[in-house]
Amino acid sequence: MVEYTQHDAPLVDAMKKHIKKRTVRFDVPGHKGGRNDKEYREFVGEKVMTLDVNSMKPLDNLAHPTSVIKDAQVLAAQAFGGHESYFMVSGTTGAVQAMIMSTCKAGDKIIMPRNVHRSAINALVICGAIPVYINPGTNDRLGISLGMSTKEVKQAILDNPDAKAILVNNPTYYGICSHLEEIVKLAHEHDMYVLVDEAHGCHFYFGENMPITAMAAGADMAAISMHKTGGSLTQSSILLSGERINADYVRQVINLTQTTSASYLLMSSLDATRKNLALHGKEIYRKTVELAEYAREEINKIGGYYAYSHELVNGDTVYNFDTTKLSIYTRDIGLTGIEVYDILRDEYNIQIEFGDLGNILAIISAGDRGLEIERLISALKEIKRLYAKDPSGMFDHEYIVPKVVLPPQTAFYAKKKSYVLDEAIGKISGDFVMAYPPGIPVLAAGEEITEEIVQYIRYAKEKGCLLTGTEDMNMEHINVVEM
């Protein structure tokens, strides 16, 4: 048995050894190292094609890891402070779904904020668990939803003592954290699992003075987007579990839906990124925070924009704030976030993470330099000068309190009929509607389609949001449940 440390990357090393051997390939993938398509091979690079292999004994198997993948997962669990880690090649979507499906069965209740990512509600469609939603706090000026109030979590627990789990966002897309430790304490006192969507919190595990991590707070499972703020390849993600969770059962659940041909490019990227963050994470995120703080200060000096931070902390629905997030309120200059997002890309060649109806989010990472930050600041200055207009009449909130009538699974699989949006008002939706990103449903299957929701959809479409979720790709029609 080899003794590894965080300086090692066992899966990366096994792959290096394997490609050096130039093994003759009579297995899949059929491109055989990219020999089938010269043009594509030259486009992505020969090395990428060579490294795109399938599982074999020397490289282990993600569905049943016993050697180098297992070792890499042990190192990841140690680095994140988890009891077990599972490499995911189905994004954090797969990790969120695995958390829910490992702890809840059909008919079981799960307490969750309604501003969850679509992956969480989709998991309910798949497994038939029943949501008990908590309306998140909201910030009326910014129009964004916040974290969960611990008072409301406590009430939901008391009202639903049979709930199996509580799901928490740590942090939200905008950088808002709930009081995770208190929620874990309350949940465990009532024998409920705590599942944490940490899609946007990978850096909490490696930076200094960051909000508390799910594992440090004693949560039972956490889904972490290594590919978002960690730096691994898109789609690679990590699931963590604590000691109360049966890891072998989690693996079985993951294998219900995850591919049997896991990408070695993605898995090795997780191994390499874990090593990089374990060795250099403190420095990487120190620099990230420094750049984000500088950008915030300069953007707030422009006037009209509001780049928010710790001042939002209120001890409850904003228990902490992730200062690496450069979230900026834009509505006071008469522009929606999505408009600023589009202008930045089309006119200034700057791609930011997302824009909603009143805010934008720029992801800052150690890959950024002062130069890029200055470009963003000066583009925002110019956008204000050239495009600012009267903000009156703008839609001023992202979160609409849902009217839940049916569980998501019942509604999604019900007999449905398609209606023109306006004619669907008052009926129960059989579809989901969300702007992507951030991918938080404004309407979920089983909820009443209200006039406010239809207005939101029309407004968001007019402003250029990418709306997804309905069967009708143009979102002119929506499926409603036939009662």
CB nearer ligand PLP, residue 233 or residue 279: 233
The window from 76-84, 86-94, 385-393, 454-462 that contacts ligand PLP (CB under 6 A) reads: 86-94
Q: What is the C-alpha to C-alpha distance for residues 332 and 394, in angstroms, rounded to an integer? A: 10
What is the closest distance, in whole angstroms, from the C-beta atom of residue 257 to ligand PLP in the complex?
13
Residue 197 interacting with ligand PLP (CB under 6 A):
yes
Tell me the number of residues near ligand PLP by CB under 6 A: 15
CB nearer ligand PLP, residue 281 or residue 441: 441
Do you know the residue count of the chain? Answer: 483
Sign of CA dihedral 357, 363, 369, 370: positive
**Residue for token pair 């590919």:** 227
**Residue for token pair 């491109």:** 31
Show the DSSP H helices in 8-149 as ranges. 10-20, 38-44, 46-51, 68-80, 91-103, 118-127
Cα–Cα separations (whole angstroms), residue 164 to 116, 238, 255, 299, 443: 17, 23, 22, 44, 24
Residue 123 interacting with ligand PLP (CB under 6 A):
no
Q: What is the C-alpha to C-alpha distance for residues 194 and 153, in angstroms, rounded to an integer? A: 12
Residue 92 interacting with ligand PLP (CB under 6 A):
yes
The 10 Å Cβ neighbour count of residue 368 is: 18
Q: Identify the H or E element spanning 134.
A: strand 130-134
Q: Which of 29, 81, 334, 437: binder of ligand PLP (CB under 6 A)? A: 437
Give the phi and the psi of residue 447 in degrees, each rounded to 5.
Answer: -105, 155
CB nearer ligand PLP, residue 134 or residue 454: 134
What is the closest distance, in whole angstroms, from the C-beta atom of residue 192 to ligand PLP in the complex?
20
The window from 181-189, 253-261, 321-329, 435-443 that contacts ligand PLP (CB under 6 A) reads: 435-443
Give helix 10-20 / helix 264-302 axis angle, nearest 10°.
130
Before 131, cis peptide (omega within 30)?
Answer: no
**Residue for token pair 């949006």:** 421
Q: Is 61 left (phi over 0), alpha (psi -120 to 50) or beta?
A: beta
What is the closest distance, in whole angstroms, from the C-beta atom of residue 169 to ligand PLP in the complex?
6
Whether 49 contacts 31, CB under 8 Å: yes
By beta carbon distance, the residue nearest ligand PLP is 91
What is the closest distance, in whole angstroms, from the C-beta atom of residue 223 to ligand PLP in the complex?
7
Residue 225 interacting with ligand PLP (CB under 6 A):
yes
Q: Which of 96, 165, 224, 363: binder of ligand PLP (CB under 6 A)? A: 96
The window from 55-63, 91-99, 121-129, 179-187 that contacts ligand PLP (CB under 6 A) reads: 91-99
Residue 237 interacting with ligand PLP (CB under 6 A):
yes
What is the closest distance, in whole angstroms, from the C-beta atom of residue 477 to ligand PLP in the complex?
26
Q: Which of 34, 136, 175, 439: binder of ligand PLP (CB under 6 A)? A: 439
Q: Which of 33, 82, 91, 242: binder of ligand PLP (CB under 6 A)? A: 91
Q: Which of 103, 119, 359, 409: binder of ligand PLP (CB under 6 A)? A: 119
Cα–Cα separations (whole angstroms), residue 5 to 8, 274, 278: 6, 11, 10
The window from 5-13, 92-100, 268-276, 474-482 that contacts ligand PLP (CB under 6 A) reads: 92-100
Residue 102 interacting with ligand PLP (CB under 6 A):
no
Residues 6+ apart with CB under 8 A from 461: 467, 475
CA atoms in the 13 A half-sphere facing the CB of 359: 25
What is the closest distance, in whole angstroms, from the C-beta atom of residue 222 to ligand PLP in the complex?
11
Residue 126 interacting with ligand PLP (CB under 6 A):
no
Bridge partners (DSSP) of residue 328 are 307, 360
What is the closest distance, in whole angstroms, from the C-beta atom of residue 100 to ligand PLP in the complex?
12
Q: Is 231 helix (H, G, I), strand (E, B) or coil?
A: coil
What is the closest distance, in whole angstroms, from the C-beta atom of residue 398 to ligand PLP in the complex?
14
Bridge partners (DSSP) of residue 177 are 320
What is the closest distance, in whole angstroms, from the C-beta atom of residue 155 to ligand PLP in the complex?
24
Q: Which residues bind ligand PLP (CB under 6 A)?
A: 91-93, 96, 117, 119, 169, 173, 197, 199, 225, 237, 437-439
